[in-house]
Amino acid sequence: MRTISFVKMHGIGNDFVLIDNRYTDIKLSTDDIIYMGNRHTGIGFDQLLFLSQSDIADCDAAYQFFNPDGTQAEQCGNGQRCLSLYLHQQNPHKTSFKLSGLAGIVSSEILTNMQVRVNMGPMKSYHVKEANNQKCYELDFGNPHLVTCVDDVDGCDLESMNKEYTGQYSKGINFEVVQVVSTQEIRIRVHERGTGETLACGSGACAAAFALMQTGDLTSKVKVVLSGGKLMVEYNLEENEIYLTGPAQSVFTGEIIL
């Protein structure tokens, strides 16, 4: 048996277990991750955040994200903010960070009032398509997203809609339903691949906002309201980069026996 230390964190209700493996040699199997992700018999999380040493000289660490079913996710905006806050708490004099991983190098900055601003980089691809006989937007943001607009996000049966809209994706896809409130505000709900509906999703907020910025429905700076709270998404056209700002919070530290 092994005893592994962790930190429980969240970004507007999107909750994480963070394991810092920079100075240890922890190896987790798929079964280990599934066990930890169980909210009844393990710890419970929307995603596991795994930090390790980066092979890139100017990066502070390397990131990996794992879903509760043990599959790996490429990107997580709320997770990036939590990782940045954790590194800041380890070294309070440092307020900017670079992390490397599957979605590339991600830069972040600690602001006031527990707010973290993350440069999520460029949108890798954007396509208008039809799914379930409805207009949708398919985006690659390091991880895949499918976005569709609805009149009332609260009135949606998100679980059923996810099955109807994403069944053609054999490897799964993150699914967002979006309600436009104004040119500067949207409301969304997110069904995350490998997790299910979550209170928040940072990359989903970026994908939804970017899709509707391209149609002219939104300005380049948008408030995104999710079930767990609010995020700000900005698109810098000159840099072709998307910035995500929102809170992050450490909740408790603990140990789990595997």
Burial of 213: CB neighbours in 10 Å, binned 0-12, 13-18, 19+: buried
Greatest alpha-carbon span in the chain? 56
Q: Residues 82, 149, 201, 206: which is the catalytic one? A: 201
Task: Give catalytic status of residue 59 as yes or no.
Answer: no
Residue 241 has phi, psi (to 5 degrees) of -135, 150
Query: Which H or E element spans position 127?
Result: strand 125-131
Can you tell me whether residue 89 is helix, strand or coil? helix
Strand partners, 99: 61, 106
Residue 167 has phi, psi (to 5 degrees) of -60, -25
Q: How many CB atoms lie within 10 A of CB 45?
A: 25
Structure token pair of residue 74: 């490429």
Cβ-count burial 112-145 (b if 16+ within 10 Å, e if not): eeeebbbbbbbbeebeeeebeeeebbbbbbbbbb
Q: Residues 59, 76, 82, 149: which is the catalytic one? A: 76
Cα distance between residue 137 and residue 242, in whole Å: 17
Asked if residue 77 lies in contact with residue 224, where contact means CB atoms within 8 angstroms, the answer is no
Task: Give catalytic status of residue 82 as yes or no.
Answer: no
Q: Can you list the alpha helix ranges (DSSP code H) found in the chain?
A: 30-37, 77-90, 158-166, 202-214
Residue with tokens 């929307």: 46
Active-site residues: which are they?
76, 201
